[in-house]
Amino acid sequence: MSDTGNFLPLRGILRENENLGEKSFFGVGGAAELLFIPSNMDDLVLFLRERPNDAQITILGAMSNVLIRAGGIKGVVIILGEWFGRIFLEGNVMEVGAAVGCSKLSSFAMNNELGGFEFLMGIPGTIGGAIKMNAGCYDSSISDRLIECEGVDFDGRIRWFRLQDMRFGYRASSIPDNVILTRAWFRGDPSVNYSISRRVNEIVAMRKNDQPQNRRSCGSVFKNVESRRAWELIDAAGCRGLRVGGAVISEKHCNFIINEENASSDDIEDLGELVIQKVLKNSGIRLEWEIMRLGTRDIKR
């Protein structure tokens, strides 16, 4: 499967056994059996149409919300490149590539005096992943300003999704797992009755006050459950500061796991599972992972 000769000539990057862990926000994990970074949309479509039928596909963005297990990811990992990281503006509608960072979109909207995107400032992921999981905070979600999306499925067919097609919920959408989002269109609000830059600065300050900064972490580990905030359930179960190996529950925000002392991916996952069991025993509520755990724990393929 990892023989790159199986693929037609491509303009993008195609590499075998590419380390992913060092690129992830946790800083740990194994390699991609094959990594493909398409140069543009045509390159992506060609790759998908000509790939071997048995090639397993995994889509990654900034790797800000994933734990790469030590055994790495079999098959093909696709990461969208620079061509998918552009923003175009027409009136108050922004065409946004799926590889655009959430903070970049927030800054672009602010600089063009378009409201409704302030909450994205400081979210480290990319727009494609944010749409699929309906990322949000501070009472706002990515779906609030979304108009429609373009994507391509694993067979290389272009797909379109209108807002009403995507059935957004809490940290969820109905976009199929076999679709790679490539572009999205958002409508900004040019007539908000507040200072956009001031609101952005307020959100940046809140993040600095509430969340650990400059630490190897992937943000919120667990979803809120049954109208209960995950961090409150974790705190009530006595898990603040809990440690497994080099992984520790943050003292500042206990829905964050920090890679504090060269933790392994197993340390991080085992700590998360321990928290789930402690919260279940204390409250009867089972937490659900918000972070995606990818690959295999066994380093043998």
Q: What is the mean pLDDT of residues 40-63?
A: 92
In tens, the pLDDT along 118-158 reads 999 988 899 999 999 999 888 899 999 999 999 999 999 99
What is the predicted pLDDT for the residue at 297?
A: 87
CATH number at residue 228: 3.90.78.10
What is the predicted pLDDT for the residue at 79?
A: 97
Same domain, 165 and 226: no
- Does residue 2 have an active-site annotation? no
Query: Given the structure tokens 């903070």, which residue do they identify?
Result: 103
Report the amino acid identity of residue 208: K
User: Residue 301: pLDDT above 60?
Assistant: no
Please check whether residue 234 lies inside any domain of the structure. yes
Same domain, 120 and 156: yes
In tens, the pLDDT along 261-297 reads 899 999 999 999 999 999 999 999 999 999 999 999 8
Report the mean per-residue pLDDT for the chain. 93
- Find the catalytic residue in 24, 64, 220, 264: 220
CA-CA distance, 84 to 97, in Å (whole number)? 5
E strands in 80-220: 87-90, 93-97, 136-137, 140-141, 146-153, 158-162, 179-187
Please check whether residue 202 lies inside any domain of the structure. no
CA-CA distance, 97 to 67, in Å (whole number)? 24
What is the predicted pLDDT for the residue at 154?
A: 95
Which of 28, 49, 79 is the last residue in one of the domains?
79
Please check whether residue 182 lies inside any domain of the structure. yes
Which of the four pLDDT bands, split at 50, 70 and 90, describes residue 85? Answer: very high
Same domain, 95 and 72: no
CATH number at residue 15: 3.30.43.10
Q: Give the range of the structural domain holding residue 130, as residue numbers without chain letter.
A: 86-197
Please check whether residue 39 lies inside any domain of the structure. yes
Same domain, 121 and 31: no
Please check whether residue 138 lies inside any domain of the structure. yes
Which of 79, 102, 132 is the last residue in one of the domains?
79
CATH number at residue 159: 3.30.465.10
- The 3-state DSSP class for residue 226 equals coil
What is the predicted pLDDT for the residue at 199?
A: 95
What is the predicted pLDDT for the residue at 137?
A: 86
Which of 79, 95, 124 is the last residue in one of the domains?
79
Same domain, 107 and 68: no
Q: What is the mean pLDDT of residues 62-68?
A: 94
Please check whether residue 299 lies inside any domain of the structure. no
Same domain, 154 and 137: yes
Same domain, 139 and 226: no
Rg over alpha carbons for the chain, rounded to the nearest Å, is: 20
What is the domain count for the chain? Answer: 3
- Does residue 220 have an active-site annotation? yes
Same domain, 237 and 290: yes
CA-CA distance, 100 to 120, in Å (whole number)? 12
What is the predicted pLDDT for the residue at 109?
A: 97
In tens, the pLDDT along 164-211 reads 989 999 888 999 999 999 999 999 999 999 999 999 999 999 988 888
Closest residue by Cα to residue 8 from 64, 69, 49: 49
- Find the catalytic residue in 33, 118, 150, 290: 290
Residues 288 and 225: beta-carbon distance below 8 Å: yes
Same domain, 165 and 219: no
- Find the catalytic residue in 39, 107, 159, 171: 171
Sorted by sequence, the CB contacts under 8 Å of residue 51 that are 6+ apart come out as 7, 57, 76
What is the predicted pLDDT for the residue at 82?
A: 95
Please check whether residue 44 lies inside any domain of the structure. yes
Full-model pTM: 0.90
Please check whether residue 12 lies inside any domain of the structure. yes
User: Residue 71: pLDDT above 70?
Assistant: yes
Percent of the chain with pLDDT over 70: 96
Same domain, 183 and 239: no
What is the predicted pLDDT for the residue at 6?
A: 58
- Does residue 260 have an active-site annotation? no
What is the predicted pLDDT for the residue at 1?
A: 47
Same domain, 54 and 97: no
Same domain, 235 and 287: yes
